[in-house]
Structure 1
Amino acid sequence: MSRPQCPRCSRPIEYCLCALIPQLRSRTRLLILQHPSEVKHALNTARLAALGLSNAELRVGEVFEDLPELLAQPGYQVCLLFPGEDAQSLAQYAEQVGEQPLLLVVPDGTWRKARKLLHCNPLLAALPRVTLAPGLQSRYRLRKAPMSGALSTIEAVVSALDILEAPARFDALLKPFEALIDGQIKAMGEQTYRRNHGDGA
């Protein structure tokens, strides 16, 4: 029998994170497109990001029939946060568009699933691509990063907003994320965590 869940953060009631989720305003609009395989994941950071930002929307699916409408936000310059040969640094791209606010589209899923989202939605693949600065370190202590600089979705969102909305900072978004990870480590036990994810000490 499954445990009762919080209808907002989808965590078991006894581990509800809602008290830690901020409500932050941003000029930048976030559109997070989540692959269905991520919805039931215990560490669903895309949901936390969307809950903590007033100007963010989370959509779940593989094919988004209404993508043209989602991207047609008057006054916004649209770009995709995803690496690629022709990707520009986010800071450089933002400088080029000047005062116009950005609609930042963020695919959420494993790298393979995120690529599938682009493949299934050609309109996404056609967007200008932007990337974060290389060498960023993830606080995601429960997964080994598939490549240097790989971040969880919520970390990528915070890093992007810190660039676009400077001097404003969005670190408060990471509080429920860090509490979630601490809870997972506590549940598995420190020794198990160290053996599987730590330094073995």
Structure 2
Amino acid sequence: MSRPQCPRCLRPQSHCLCPLIPRLDSRTRVLLLQHPSEVNHALNTARLAALGLTNAELIVGEVFEDLPKLLNQPGYQARLLFPAEDAQPLPAYAANDQPMLLVVPDGTWRKARKMLHLNPLLAALPRVTLAEGGVSRYRLRKAPGPGALSTIEAIVQALETLEAPSTFAPLLKPFEALIEGQIAAMGEETFQRNHGDR
């Protein structure tokens, strides 16, 4: 028998995060393209980001038929937040007059690359990257490398770069509560044994 689920945050009703999710305005439009395998993930941070930002949209899929329409938002310049040799650092856009449509793939690195491969229009977008040295608060997962952040952490860092001095830290409140809840569920001893030496 499954536990009753909150229809908004998709968490069990007993662990609903909705009271912690802010409603933040941003000049930047955020388009989250989520791989279907992430939808039921316990730490679905893309959904938390989409719920917390008034100017964000979350679309689930592998192939996005509506991509031409989604990317052609009048008044916005579309950029893909994904590493590449020719990716521009986000601070270069901070003073730009035209707001950005920040396209963020959500999935494992492998699945995100597959999404780019299956959607040539997505792969062809100019790419932007975050400043190096970001440290993830995601204490339950071993990062694949330095600067590897969860989707919500990457969005917060990107928005704070593009829209300084505005802060988007409140977006991280439900994420941190989620992690604390997972640690509490596994027990401090198990957490320390499996994750404490990172």
Q: 2:136 aligns with which of 135, 138, 147?
A: 138
Distance in structure 2 (CA, Å) of the matches to 1:184 and 1:115: 28
Structure 2 contact 48–152 (Cα < 8 Å) conserved: yes
- Compute the displacement of 1:29 (Å): 0.1
- Compute the displacement of 1:127 (Å): 0.3
Distance in structure 2 (CA, Å) of the matches to 1:171 and 1:118: 29
Distance in structure 2 (CA, Å) of the matches to 1:134 and 1:8: 33
* 2:78 paired residue number: 78
Distance in structure 1 (CA, Å) of the matches to 2:25 and 2:36: 27
* Matched residue SS, 2:6: coil
- Compute the displacement of 1:38 (Å): 0.4
- Compute the displacement of 1:92 (Å): 1.1
* Matched residue SS, 1:179: helix
Could you tell me the percent identity over the aligned residues?
Answer: 77
* 1:162 paired residue number: 160
* 1:41 paired residue number: 41
* Matched residue SS, 1:105: strand
Distance in structure 2 (CA, Å) of the matches to 1:188 and 1:15: 15
* 1:119 paired residue number: 117
Letter in 1 for 2:72: A
Letter in 2 for 1:83: P
Distance in structure 1 (CA, Å) of the matches to 2:72 and 2:88: 22
- Compute the displacement of 1:73 (Å): 0.3
Distance in structure 2 (CA, Å) of the matches to 1:103 and 1:157: 12
Structure 1 contact 83–130 (Cα < 8 Å) conserved: yes
* 1:51 paired residue number: 51
1:31 counterpart = 2:43: no
* Matched residue SS, 1:33: strand
Deviation digits for residues 21-58 of structure 1 (CA, Å, limit 9, x no counterpart): 00000000000000001001000000000000000000
- Compute the displacement of 1:139 (Å): 0.2
Work out the number of aligned pairs and report it. Answer: 198
Structure 2 contact 21–171 (Cα < 8 Å) conserved: yes
Distance in structure 2 (CA, Å) of the matches to 1:86 and 1:179: 36
1:199 counterpart = 2:173: no
* 2:176 paired residue number: 178
Taking only aligned residues, the RMSD between alpha carbons, in angstroms, comes to 0.9
Which runs of 5 or more structure 2 residues have no equivalent in the other structure? none
TM-score (norm 1): 0.97
Which runs of 5 or more structure 1 residues have no equivalent in the other structure? none
Alignment map for 1:2-21 (pairs within 5 Å)? 2-21=2-21
Deviation digits for residues 85-112 of structure 1 (CA, Å, limit 9, x no counterpart): 11010111444xx200000000001100
Q: 1:103 aligns with which of 83, 101, 104?
A: 101
* Matched residue SS, 1:155: helix
Distance in structure 1 (CA, Å) of the matches to 2:115 and 2:138: 23
Which aligned segments of 4 or more residues in structure 1 are displaced greater than 4 angstroms? Answer: none
